[in-house]
Amino acid sequence: MNSRSDINELCEENKTCEIWRKHREAGKKVDSFKSYQKLDDDIAFIKKNGVDEFEKLQKIREYLLREMLEINEKSKLLHSILDEIALQKKYDLKLRK
């Protein structure tokens, strides 16, 4: 079986499959990167759409996360620049409610 195998070949009945059961149980006991609830959704998506489509979706999510992190870093830099200018000019910058 290669790494691109269909999920059905890995596990005929995902609710009782030993591989996925172990992942779900571990996710319930300790904090994990992959939540066991999301794992069930991912399995269902792969069964319906295939591994290739799932991989495409994951790559899109990865790209968006990188972009958000980059925007966050730029925002921090901008805030630090504004804070420095406000300090030098004795401005009191506050967010409006």
3-state SS track over 24-93: HHHHHHCCCCCCHHHHHHHHHHHHHHCHHHHHHHHHHHHHHHHHHHHHHHHHHHHHHHHHHHHHHHCCCC
The verdict on residue 24 lying in a domain is yes
The verdict on residue 3 lying in a domain is no
Q: Give the pLDDT of residue 49.
A: 95
The verdict on residue 2 lying in a domain is no
Percent of the chain with pLDDT over 90: 46
pLDDT band at 42 (very low <50, low <70, confident <90, very high): confident
pLDDT band at 9 (very low <50, low <70, confident <90, very high): low
pLDDT band at 63 (very low <50, low <70, confident <90, very high): very high
The verdict on residue 96 lying in a domain is no
The verdict on residue 67 lying in a domain is yes
The verdict on residue 6 lying in a domain is no
Q: Residue 74: pLDDT above 90?
A: yes
| Domain enclosing residue 27, as ranges | 13-89
Give dist(CA 30, CA 47) in Å, integer.
27
The verdict on residue 8 lying in a domain is no
Report which of residues 70 and 7 the model is more confident about.
Answer: 70
